[in-house]
Amino acid sequence: MTLTLEQIHLRDPFILADAATSSYYMYGTTGKTAWGGRPEGFDVYRSDDLVHWEGPAPAFRPAPGFWADRDYWAPEVHAWNGTYYMFASFKAEGKCRATQILAADSPAGPFVVHSAEPVTPADWECLDGTLYVDEGGDPWIVFCHEWVQVGDGEICCRRLTRGLDAAVGDPLLLFKASESGWSERGKAGNRVTDGPFLFRSEAGELRMIWSSFDKRGYNVGVARSVSGLITGPWKHEPKPLFGPSEADDGRKPAAPAEGGHGMLFRTFDGRPMLVIHAPNKHPEERPAIVPVREIDGTLALGYDQ
């Protein structure tokens, strides 16, 4: 079946531009079971042009005895040393939400369990793990320590083995949501951290996008590592991406008014893109692809010309 983005009910979208197959692959949290019901697993959609998508096709189906039975969230796929690795969040009754690593020989799957156990701390409620490879070639997981446990949501990191099959050492705190200057408290007094994704700016600086809530709704913030290292310290841009900014120049942003849980990729002809889900309202959320650019070293939305 061929679909457009408006026809795909998906949260937390992640797009892999796979040079080996010259295709785009999109993964995400299945909208129908995002907030309840027993998920089947994760699906994948494939496209040649980012407009028409084939799918859904099964990418991961848990084997009998797999520990998690709910909250199959935020899968993302990274190519590493000739293998495709899926980082995804899972949960079960009596067990903390956690990120586990799956693997496959193809971006289409089938993905199977790779790490023997989750790579986030067993007694932490965690989600949205992403892969970062440092300047020495060592892999890390960057993930969220959830507000449901700590109140002021955190983004943390933890080293991984080069085989991506286990964690190494203790996690490190990178920052709390309140340090951003723009994240607002929820009704329960909490501050959310969601969807970290790391990238290098055109000048080679280490940056991170991540999501929380501000006065407008769900939004995407940008932070910069002052040291250039994963350990930071991290300095936040004063304003998130969606909403009025000095960079608008009176032109209408080619983006929704609010949205989040984003990641960045480049098209095969080199154009940088942000993919998010928008709006952040069930069951209306859909993937949205937004052009981005750098203005004076700062990430900004693309614009209609």
- CATH number of the domain residue 44 falls in: 2.115.10.20
Range of the domain at 220: 2-301
Q: What is the pLDDT of residue 302?
A: 81
Does residue 56 have a cis bond before it (omega within 30 degrees)?
yes
Q: What is the pLDDT of residue 246?
A: 40
Q: What is the pLDDT of residue 254?
A: 52
CB 89 within 8 A of CB 140: no
175 burial class (0-12, 13-18, 19+ CB within 10 angstroms)? buried
Q: Which residue has the tokens 């020495």?
A: 136
One-character DSSP codes across 123-179: TS-EEEEEEEE-TTS-EEEEEEE-HHHHSB-EEEEEEE-TTSSSEEEEEEEEEEGGG
CA distance 244 to 153: 25
CB 11 within 8 A of CB 261: yes
Q: What is the pLDDT of residue 304?
A: 45
First CA to last CA across the chain, in angstroms?
A: 33
Q: What is the pLDDT of residue 187?
A: 81
Residues of the chain scoring pLDDT < 70: 244-255, 303-305
Domain count, the chain: 1
Q: What is the pLDDT of residue 75?
A: 98
